[in-house]
Amino acid sequence: MADDKKLNPVEVIKADSKLLRGSISEDLSSDSDQFAKPNTQLLKFHGTYQQDDRDARGKQEEGKSSKQFSMMTRTRIPGGRLTAEQLLAHLDLCDEIGNSTLKCTTRQALQLHAIPKQDLRQTIRRINEVHLSTLAACGDVNRNVMCCPAPIHDEVHRELVRLTDALKDHLAPKSGAYYELWLKDEETGEKELVGGAEEEPIYGPTYLPRKFKIAVARPDDNCVDIYTNDLGFLAVVRDQQVIGYNVLVGGGLGTTPSAKKTFPALAKRMAFVTPENACRVAEAVVKVQRDHGNRDDRKTARMKYLIADKGLDWFRGKVEEYYGEALAPCTEDDVHGFDDHLGWAEQGDGRWFYGWNIENGRLYDDQDRRWKSALREICSELKPGFCLTPHQSILVTNLSEADKPKLEAIILKHGLPLSEQISTVRRWSMACVALPTCGLAVTESERVLPSLMDQLEPELAKLGLDSEAFTVRMTGCPNGCARPYNADVGLVGKTKGKYTLFLGGQLLGTRLGTVYKDLVAFEDITATLVPVFHAFKQYREPQETFGDFCHRVGNEQLSLWADDIASTV
């Protein structure tokens, strides 16, 4: 950036942080229930956010803080792959330290909520003890690398997993701060895990201008929504072998409504790279963003804005400069399929996996549904593996034929539905966390989407559209964590109880929707959508999907038809 430009405050905090140390150690030793503001920015790199229970604001005793502070801790899980021991460790932590719930995220990670500050070190240590980490799960670095979770035993999937792990390792922060703060023995002062350097050869002392996200996908299954990532590696497959990757750059969905200069964007196709050079190209892309991304305005600091400003040709030229040689053009290969992997499927090694729908990714036990208890019994009785999906669900893996009825019986025993019993519209829906913990949320999302599904299910059944597959994604703010902008139906929180309704994206994930109605009250969403579904049934072309129909027809014609239909139904 130009010398005369004023850096945003977070850049100053990073520059003065001593490679992410700040004064976090001092805060951990204090009696305060919260961290100092500069440290809350640095803690994100360590995988944790300071939050408060927004439902409890203003309910404390007079003279005390109106906020109840706690920490959200996110575990980085490349490709969503987990052992039973690792999952059980998180279930234990949510019960013993957190708020007794565990969240499966839209990026194949796990989140613990309501961790008291005094228990944060213990929480992070215990996550590391089962060979997982919270390092770089958040912050201005490469975050959790996504990959298709289906445990298919073939050469293509093995290569995707290899690259996913290689990218995670290659782009991980090298600072020793994480080990010093969370993993050293508190009595001897010695680090239990050796690691960490005193320089950042890829990121430098101020890391990236903003968060950075990577996904690895295969053309026949875009379950990771590769086009929504800063950097994507799309496998090019010939004769069941991955000969390379088409490299996609510049995706990102977050916006700021008050800043018209912000926008959602899908990635652009940049170049082809062989498997052995993929990490080198990733490093070059990261370094271009490091050196040329916007550090004076965090609202426009994502890589998508750099590419929009400078152009793809300029960006590719810079990547080639950092990489050290010219890059080949992309092949014709592109995404052409999408699988949520729910239900039973063979792994290719004589074993099976089961895709289990977890509504909005929230694991909890109550009097009606007992997700955590079911998972504990599954671990004890079947000893399977697990994979988290990008749609907030769980694959139970490495099962025998004899295990299939046992698993289904455990699920039903705990008051939970099988994936085959879930309606199509509910199956393809997801929501971000939103209230009460997310500080960015302006309205509800996770807590209200199930009731919206309750309303839509009978309406779609009446129209004979209950088997139509289309995505419904809701967020409590425009930041887009549940990827609403490229969904068939996107609901983005605009203000308390009201949403912007987007239509015309698609399940395949390669097209953005457009605003159909703004400031739609939650209680009016179903009434707004039902006439559009009527129009879809009446005027669709053969085999046309809902998102493709809305995109083809356009919002003006949709509104005319919907108004006419609404007056007669």
Q: Which of 270, 282, 377 is nearest to 315 (CA)?
A: 270
DSSP state of 425: H
- For this structure, is 477 an active site residue? yes
- For this structure, is 143 an active site residue? yes
Which among 14, 76, 213, 290 is annotated as catalytic? Answer: 213
**Encoded amino acid at 283, one letter:** E
Which among 432, 494, 540, 550 is annotated as catalytic? Answer: 432
CA triple 118-124-127, angle to 5 deg: 140
Alpha-carbon distance 133 to 375, whole Å? Answer: 21
Alpha-carbon distance 341 to 345, whole Å? Answer: 8
Which among 76, 81, 107, 143 is annotated as catalytic? Answer: 143
Q: Which of 136, 162, 172, 141 is nearest to 79 (CA)?
A: 162
Helix 371-382 crosses helix 403-413 at what angle (to 10 degrees)? 160
Among the residues of 171-212, which ranges form H helices? 177-178
Q: Which residues contact 517 (CB under 8 A, 6 or more apart)?
A: 500, 501, 528
Q: Which two tokens stand for residue 405?
A: 């009825």
Which among 94, 138, 330, 438 is annotated as catalytic? Answer: 438
Polymer length of the chain:
569
Residue with tokens 């960490």: 196
Q: Which of 375, 380, 382, 418 is nearest to 400 (CA)?
A: 382
Which among 14, 107, 168, 211 is annotated as catalytic? Answer: 211
Which among 223, 379, 477, 550 is annotated as catalytic? Answer: 477
Q: Which of 154, 155, 168, 195 is nearest to 80 (CA)?
A: 168
Q: Which of 449, 424, 423, 421 is nearest to 434 (CA)?
A: 449
- For this structure, is 211 an active site residue? yes
Which among 94, 104, 481, 550 is annotated as catalytic? Answer: 481
- For this structure, is 148 an active site residue? no
- For this structure, is 438 an active site residue? yes
Q: What is the set of active-site residues?
A: 74, 143, 211, 213, 432, 438, 477, 481
